[in-house]
Each structure stands twice: as C-alpha cells, then as structure tokens.
Amino acid sequence: MKAEIISVGDELTVGMIVDTNSAYLSSKLAGIGIPVTRHTVVGDDLDEVADAVGAASHRADLVLVNGGIGPTIDDVTRQAVAAAAGTTMRLDAEWLEAIRGMFTRRGYVMPESNAIQAMIPSAATRITNPCGTAAGFFIKINSAEVSVFPGVPGELRAMFEQEYLPRLLEAAPTGRVIVTRSLKCFGMPESLINEKIRHLMGAGKNPLVGLLAKDAVISVKITADADGEAAALAMIDEIKRTVRAILGDETATPPGPIYGEDDDEMQHAIARLLTGRRLKIATAESCTGGLIAKRLTDVSGSSDYFIGGVVSYSNEAKSIFMGVPENLFAEVGAVSPEVARAMAEGIRARLRTDLGLSITGIAGPTGGTPKKPVGLVYVALAHSMGTELQELRLTGTRDEIRDRSAKWAMNMIRICRH
Amino acid sequence: MKAEIISVGDELTVGMIVDTNSAYLSSKLAGIGIPVTRHTVVGDDLDEVADAVGAASHRADLVLVNGGIGPTIDDVTRQAVAAAAGTTMRLDAEWLEAIRGMFTRRGYVMPESNAIQAMIPSAATRITNPCGTAAGFFIKINSAEVSVFPGVPGELRAMFEQEYLPRLLEAAPTGRVIVTRSLKCFGMPESLINEKIRHLMGAGKNPLVGLLAKDAVISVKITADADGEAAALAMIDEIKRTVRAILGDETATPPGPIYGEDDDEMQHAIARLLTGRRLKIATAESCTGGLIAKRLTDVSGSSDYFIGGVVSYSNEAKSIFMGVPENLFAEVGAVSPEVARAMAEGIRARLRTDLGLSITGIAGPTGGTPKKPVGLVYVALAHSMGTELQELRLTGTRDEIRDRSAKWAMNMIRICRH
C-alpha cells in the first residue's frame, strides 16, 4: 500500500506559505508503515486540482488531499474531487445542522456562504471535522481511496488523528513500522554532542541516529525500522540508554544537556521537576517581557507550582513589585547582576515561593551601548541556599535573544540542586 | 511563461523535513512575474524523478528541480533528468577540477565518490555552484527548460540568485511583476468578511483578491500582475482603499476589523496607537500567563508605552499585586467579570498608567466546570472613563484558547476610544 499527498492553495504555489501538512501526514503514515511516494502542491484552480487528483488516483492506494474546502469562492477542492470522480455534489444535511450549531454557540447566525462547507461529492462519505466547519470526506476514484481534509493545520491534524487514522487502521492493519523518537538537549554545543555520539551515527544504520538543531535545542533523532512498534521501540530504547549514559541529564555530575524526549519543551522538564520536588516558583522578567511566564504556563496544571510573575519593563515597576532599591538603577543600571539579584530575591520574598527567577537584559535591536551591548543578559535564581547568577552574551535578532535567554534562564531551574 | 518546481529527497517524502525550497523559489519567480503552478515532491527514486520531470516538461516552460545531486548512491536526480531527456551522461572536466580544488583548499584529498558531482547529462549546460561541490545544470526537455539545483537551502539560494536568475532575466526580460499585499483583520468572522467583499473576488481578476485565515487573523490578500512594481502597487492601493471603505479600521463607527497590513501583528497596531496618543499601559494576566505582555514587548521600543505587567496565576498573587479583595474569590470565583474588573483597575492604579488590561479565564484542558467551562474568559480594560468588560466563549486547544483570548484582549486596546 502506498500513499500520495496533494496540498491545495494559491498561498502555497506563490510561496507565501510553506507546505507543512505534507510532512506531517507523511511522517504519520510512515509511522504505520505506509510509504508516501509523492507530494503535489497546486493552486486554487479546479482543473489543476482535478488533474492532480486524477493522476494520483492511478498511482497510489491512498490519496490525501488538503486545503481548498473553506467557505469562499476560491475553495474549489470539493468540486475538483467530484469532477475527478465523475460525480455531482450533494448536501450533507446533518453536517449543515452541525455548522449552524457551531455558529449559534458562538452567538452568530451562520452566513449562508458557509452552507457550501456541507456539500460533498454524491458518492463520498463524510469525515467529521472535530474542530471546524469544513467537512472532510473520502471517495473511491480509480484504484485509490481519495480523502479530503481542511488545510488549516490544527483542523487537519485533529481530523487525521481522531477520525481518519482509527478508521484506516481498522480497515487495513499494517505490519512494518518506522518509528522516530528524540532526546532533547540544551546547554551543550551541537558540535560537542556530535563529537560525543558520532560513533552511533552514519547512513544505513538501523536505528538511524541524527542530530537536528532548532532554536538552540539539539534533538538526537533515533529512527528504527522494524516489524511492529514494540520491536522498533525496543531498538530505540537501547540507543537511548547509550546516549543518555554519554550525555547525561540534570541528575548527572556535572548536569548533562538532556532535558526531555520527543515533544518535550523545557517547561515540561521543569513541570516534572518542580512537581516531583513540591517546589513553587515565581518569575520577574524584564527583557523577555513575559515569555518565561508564558512558557511555564503553557503546561496545563502549572498553577500547582507557578504562583505568579511580574513583567517589569520600567524601573518603577521593578521597585513597586520587587522592592528593587531605586538607587541601584543609577549606580549600576537596570541591566546588571545586582538588579537581577534584587529582582529574583524580591519576587521570591513577595510571593513566598521556594524559587525566584529573574532576567534583565538588552534584547535589541536598540538600547545597546559599548559597555552594555545588545545581547547582554543577566539571569538570577534565588533559592533557600542563596542566589545563583549567570551572565549571557547572546547574538541574533530580538526574537532570538529573547528566546535563547528565556531558555538559559529556564535551564537554571532545571539544573538547580536546591 | 509558467514554472513548476520538483523537490527530490526521501527525507521530504517521509516527512522528516519540510520542503521550504519550493516556497522560496515560488516567491522569487512570482516576484519577476513568472507564476508557479505546481510543486512536486518525490523520493530518491530514479523512475519517480524521471516521471515527475517528464510530466512537468509537458506542462510548464520552466521546471526547477532541486535535491538529489549529492555524491552518494542515493542521489539519482542527474541520471533521472538524463533519462527524461533521453540522453547519456558526460564528465564536466572543468568542474571536476573545481571540486578537487575545493577539497585541496580545505586540506583534504577529494574522495573519488565526489567525481560523480561533475557528471551532467550530455546535452546539458552547467550552472556553477557558488558554495558547494554539486554542479547544477539546465537542459531542454520537450517544451521546457529543466534546471537542476542542490537541495541544501543555502546552496540552492546562492545558485539561484547568483547564477540562475541573472541568466533568466537576460534571456527573457519579463518586466512583468506579481506583487502581493495584505490587509490584516481581526474580530469579524471570515465568512462575514467574505460576504462583504466577495464582489471583489473571483478567479481571473487582476488584482486577485483572496482571504487567508490563520490563527483567527483574516488576511485580505491582494495580488496584482503588472508591468513594473509601481503599476502593481497602484492597482493594489485602489483595491485597498475599497476594502478599507467596506470593512473599516478602528477609526470607523463601529470600529472595523482592519488592524494593519502585510507583516503587522496586533502588537504593532497597538504600538502605533499608544505611541500616537501618548498612552501608557499595564497588564494583569491570569489564563494567558504572560502571553499578552510578551507580545506587547515583541516590539522594540515598547518600553515607551508598556510599563509592566503581572502574571497572577494564584489568587494570592492577584491580591498582593492588584489588591483584588480576597472575598471576591469565594463569592464569584477567580474567573468572573468582577475579578477581571478588579485586576484591570488594580494594575492601572498600581502602575499609574492610562490603561489597565486584565484577563482571567480557563484555558484548559483541565479546570473546567459545567458552569464555567474551558474556554470561558473575561477581559477588562480600565481607562479614564471607566472599565469595559468582555466575555469570551472560545473553543480549541489550550494554546488556541490562550492565543485567541490574548488577541481579543489586545483588540480591546485597539478599538478603545478613551
């Protein structure tokens, strides 16, 4: 069994948007042993879409089409697939009621233009959209089963995972699987990680081990090809143990860079650590402007350990909320180890938490001086045994400096022993 | 003249990597008036690549192939294109010397496996690679000129910009340009915007007007095809004026959904408004956990109007920082209009700002009750004339609820008249 993916949208063919849906669907299908042999991207053009669907339906067993099923006049995928199937359209009355209900619950009357989202080809079977108004559907065309999904990534993923995949697995259980798992690292340069584990890497190995760097996080990717998921996971686990022994996590001495696995972000590692140790934390942010608090609270249930935070973008706010002495600003400046310490200790005392994390720095692009250049950031972590300080000198855009400094600050929580 | 793009690589079809090259090439070609009608992604398979190249060569005038010209046995693009052209391969002796030179300068002897990177189809003309060992080439196949580039994005871009584009413009000066601009909207449903401006839309029009919804922001995309950029921009400006008159921005009565253009985010609109009106703001966030402060401070120079904020994830923090009366929590709950009002008024008073924005709600997935379900959010904006309140009932994931509620809250600042 093999599959092809077709993404529809002018915003893709003009290069305004990168097609991430094809990669998502491909990795999911690979995960259950169904190879994807081709992606095709076409614009919102009825003939082009019909032509692409028709051609794919001769080559593949499964054709997954996404995009072009919104309510606007540009959205031609429904009609194009019907044309490729040589059939007409019908109204799915049940789904029309569902759409009306969605609008009603939000306090609107459904615009009549949305009714088209309940139209599907006559011979097609609807795939319910768990989080949107556009109905998906599947239909037999030539030797293939052609399925149509929304192009909005969130809706596509929900529909694929909740509706499409369970039905597919029930209809055609596959044997071989390709499974990828990752170990996520922060705080050690990619080249050093590469040096330490390169003997595990190399083309043609199974499991295949590779490094992927993104936003200062280095992922050790481990891909196994095996008969069944259990076998693949066992092969991956063996490599994981070896990599963990070499690189180490926060329990190693000195602490290692591995903070988590797969989709883990630093905030998930912190959630586990603080929950396990029953510690509460508060934050005081200047240059990151709330980014650390935002990430800590990305985790559902974070109110168990995150008490609150302050974004003190002015000196006044630093004094009002953390009691930072006003003379410090004149003496050493807001971006200084002294102010970082006063912020961390101040927020810890104010909110009576175990840990107080602070950050102050110059994110740029303006505001730098020769003595205090853009990218200079001070981070402080106050705890029961005292206050730890870290000076960072980062490069990059404003967004990058804010992202990296938030990660270094959060990493201090991770490797803290107190 | 129209173009197609073919990207080659197993890492693409298995979904390990997203195809960014196609979007890059498409936007570059659109910029000189050459529309791209299709992207095709195939794996490292000789027959698949040859088939994709052959089919594209019948449909398009330019076919840009990238990937699969490395030195390994997997790299089959050279041979596949030769097969599609019905020709054999030849050694480009000059390029072989160039490759040897690159290795020598780095202090290595060229591995013999790299010699294959100097092989090109017999009838092809080499395209020099300014920063790598893989030679590109172009060759006539059927009605198309087929060009082959490396898949490594840096090498692809250097070769495209330094070698390919100048030659293309010299051979066929287009003069014609395709320019796209956007009006960004928030706060009005896509279907309603569609209804209001659908008479401007429709395939084949120039400028072409379309809608793109992403993360609750609706972009009105206007694409003009003209002789020269000035002419295209003039055509776009006329449509922009019409759309602005129909939909309106914050100066309209009632306020309209247009908050900005092109890459504008809501925080940029707020930056312009607050700077222009010399207003200062402070924030008090519960469910968004710092996301609003983070976005406001995404803008360099935001310290001119953003004084500070509080992330009050516990009732205690709400009382300590904003003086929210503790009995309110027992009486009406933390997620209530009363607490939202007390937070907004409290932070405005504490930091002595013109505006105080607050948000409290249930982002989920846990924490909801039948009376206060996940997605229930209260937003309050305190100003000199009083406090405005808004109740939201949102659906989606935790991330989506936080994103949407932050945007609705920030939109209150945008449309505030006080």
| A180 touches B at CB < 8 Å | yes
Phi and psi at residue A19, to the nearest 5°: -80, 95
Q: Return d(Cα A135, Cα A90) in angstroms, integer.
A: 13
Note the pLDDT of residue A203.
64
CB B375 within 8 A of CB B364: yes
Question: What chain B residue is nearest to A32 in terms of C-alpha separation?
Answer: B14
pLDDT of residue B172: 65
Of A65-69, A192-196, A395-399, highest mean pLDDT? A65-69
**DSSP E strand boundaries for B297-413:** 306-312, 355-361, 376-383, 386-393
Q: Does A99 touch chain B (CB under 8 A)?
A: no
User: Tokens representing A170?
Assistant: 């029930």
Q: Indicate yes or no: CB of A37 within 8 angstroms of CB of B45.
A: yes
Residue A282: what pLDDT?
Answer: 98
The total of other beta-carbon atoms located within 10 Å of residue A88's CB is 11
What sign does the CA torsion over B243, B245, B247, B251 have?
positive
Report the amino acid identity of residue A6.
Answer: I
Q: Name the DSSP class of B329.
A: H
Looking at per-residue confidence, does B208 or B149 come out higher?
B149
Residue A65's alpha-carbon distances to A62, A143, B8, B167, B289, in angstroms, are 10, 16, 20, 36, 37
Q: Which one of B2, B24, B38 makes the best mutation probe of the A interface by having the most chain A beta carbons within 10 Å?
A: B38
Give me Rg for the CA atoms of chain B.
28
Residue B173 has pLDDT above 70, yes or no: no
Contact map slice: B 38-77 vs A, CB within 8 A: 38-43, 45, 48, 52, 55, 72
Instruction: Give me the pLDDT at residue A346, please.
Output: 97
Question: What value does the mean pLDDT take over residues B64-87?
Answer: 92
Strands B89-91 and B119-121: antiparallel
Pairing of strands B208-214, A36-42: unpaired
Q: Which residues pair with B148 in a beta bridge?
A: B65, B137
**Two tokens at A377?**
């950031």
The phi and psi torsions of B343 (rounded to 5 degrees) equal: -65, -45
Mean pLDDT, rounded, for A22-48: 93
Best CA proximity match to B38, nearest among B15, B68, B62: B62
Q: Which residue has the tokens 């997605």?
A: B375
Partner-chain residue, chosen from B212, B307, B321, that has the shortest CB–CB distance to A11: B212
Interval B239-261 mean pLDDT: 96
The pLDDT score that the predictor gives to residue A249 is 96
Read off the pLDDT of each residue in B168-179 and give the average, rounded to a whole number.
75
Task: Work out the number of other CB atoms within 10 angstroms of the CB of residue B306.
Answer: 29
pLDDT confidence of B199, banded at 50, 70, 90? Answer: very high
Asked if the C-beta of B390 comes within 8 angstroms of chain A's C-beta atoms, the answer is: no
Mean model confidence pLDDT for chain A:
93
CB of B56 within 8 A of CB of B40?
yes
Bridge partners of A290? Answer: none
pLDDT for the residue B289: 97
Q: What's the rounded Cα separation, in Å, for the pair B398 and B62?
A: 45
* Adjacency order of strands within the sheet including A3-8: A125-127, A136-141, A144-149, A62-66, A3-8, A36-42, B36-42, B3-8, B62-66, B144-149, B136-141, B125-127
Domain spans in chain B, listed from the N-terminal domain onward: 3-171, 176-261, 266-415
Enumerate residues 190 to 249 of chain B having a beta carbon within 8 A of any beta carbon in chain A: 190-192, 194-195, 198, 201-203, 208, 210-214, 221, 223
**SS3 label, residue A18:** coil
Say if residues B347 and B284 touch (Cβ distance below 8 Å).
yes
List residues bridging with B344 in a β-sheet: none
- Mean of the pLDDT values across residues B228-249? 95
Tell me the per-residue pLDDT of A152-204, one tens digit each, with 9 for 90 and over: 998 999 999 999 998 888 876 666 777 889 999 999 888 788 889 989 987 66
CA distance B94 to chain A (A): 30
Contact A14 B314 (CB under 8 A): no
What is the rounded CA–CA span in Å between residue B389 and residue B404? 16
Concatenating the DSSP letter of every residue in B61-119 gives SEEEEES--SSSTT--HHHHHHHHHT--EEE-HHHHHHHHHHHHHTT-PPPGGGGGGGE
Whole-angstrom distance, CA of residue A254 vs CA of residue A232: 32
**At B194, which amino acid appears?**
N
CA distance B358 to B282: 9
Q: What is the pLDDT of residues B282-301, one digit of tens each?
A: 999 999 999 999 999 999 99
Q: Which helix (H) or strand (E) holds A400?
A: helix A398-415
The pairing of strands B258-261 and B176-185 is: antiparallel
Q: Chain-wide mean pLDDT for chain B?
A: 93
Tell me, what's the pLDDT at A340?
98
pLDDT of B33: 82
The string of pLDDT tens digits covering residues A322-365 is 999 999 999 999 999 999 999 999 999 999 999 999 999 999 99
pLDDT band for B344, please (50, 70, 90 cuts): very high
Helix, strand, coil proportions of chain A in percent (round to 5)? 40, 25, 35
**How confident is the model over B154-168, as pLDDT tens digits?**
899 999 999 999 888
Q: Does A364 touch chain B (CB under 8 A)?
A: yes
Task: Give the residue-averaged pLDDT of B222-243.
Answer: 93
Do residue A44 and residue B203 have CB atoms under 8 angstroms apart?
yes
How far is residue B358's CA from residue B347's CA, in Å, rounded to a whole number? 8
Please give the interface size between A and B, counted as residue pairs whose CB atoms are below 8 Å apart.
288
Q: Is A128 left (phi over 0), alpha (psi -120 to 50) or beta?
A: beta
Cα R_g (chain A), whole angstroms: 26
Range with lowest mean pLDDT among B60-69, B221-230, B388-397: B221-230
Chain A neighbors of B35, CB-CB under 8 A: 13-14
Give the pLDDT confidence score for residue A359 in this predicted structure: 98
Q: What are A205-264's pLDDT values in tens digits?
A: 889 888 877 888 999 989 888 888 899 999 999 999 999 999 999 999 999 999 999 999
> Which of B178, B282, B396 is opposite residue A131, by nearest beta carbon?
B396
How high is the pLDDT of residue A13?
Answer: 95
- First-to-last alpha carbon distance for chain B, in angstroms, is 54
DSSP state of B157: H
**For residue B261, what are the β-bridge partners?**
B183
CATH superfamily for domain A266-415? CinA-like (3.90.950.20)
Q: What is the ipTM of this complex?
A: 0.75
Question: What are A172's two structure tokens?
Answer: 């055609």
User: Cβ of A311 and B364 within 8 Å?
Assistant: no
At residue B112, the pLDDT reads: 82
Pairing of strands A281-285, A355-361: parallel
Predicted confidence (pLDDT) at residue B105 exceeds the cutoff of 90: no
| Residues ≥6 apart with Cβ < 8 Å to A109 | A103
Please tell me the distance from the alpha carbon of residue B302 to that of residue B309, in angstroms, as a whole number: 13
Neighbours of B391 (CB within 10 A): 12
- Torsion-angle region of A293 (φ positive above 0: left; ψ -120 to 50: alpha; else: beta): alpha
What sign does the CA torsion over B268, B272, B273, B274 have?
A: positive
Contact B194 A71 (CB under 8 A): yes
DSSP category for residue B249: B
Choose which CATH entry (3.40.50.10680, 3.10.180.10, 3.40.50.720, 3.30.70.2860) describes domain A176-261: 3.30.70.2860
Task: Decide: helix, strand or coil at residue A15.
Answer: coil
Of B81, B10, B94, give the one whose Cα is nearest residue B44: B10
- The CATH class for the domain spanning A3-171 reads alpha beta
Q: How far apart are the first and last CA of chain A?
A: 55
Sign of CA dihedral A191, A193, A196, A202: negative
User: DSSP per residue over A291-348, as a string?
Assistant: HHHHHHTTSTTGGGTEEEEEEE-SHHHHHHHH---HHHHHHH-SSSHHHHHHHHHHHH
Residue of A nearest to B400 (CA): A154
Lowest mean pLDDT among A101-105, A328-332, A377-381: A101-105
Angle between helices B77-85 and B46-59 (to 10 degrees): 50
Q: Give the per-residue pLDDT at A228.
A: 84
- To the question of pTM greater than 0.80 for the whole model, the response is no
Facing residue for B23 by CB, picked from A18, A74, A317: A18
For residue B176, the Cα-to-chain-centroid distance in whole angstroms is 25
B28-34 average pLDDT score: 87
CA distance A324 to A318: 6
Across the interface, whether the CB atoms of A294 and B290 are under 8 A apart is answered yes
- In sequence order, the 6+-apart residues with CB closer than 8 A to the CB of A85 are A121, A123, A124, A139, A140, A141, A146
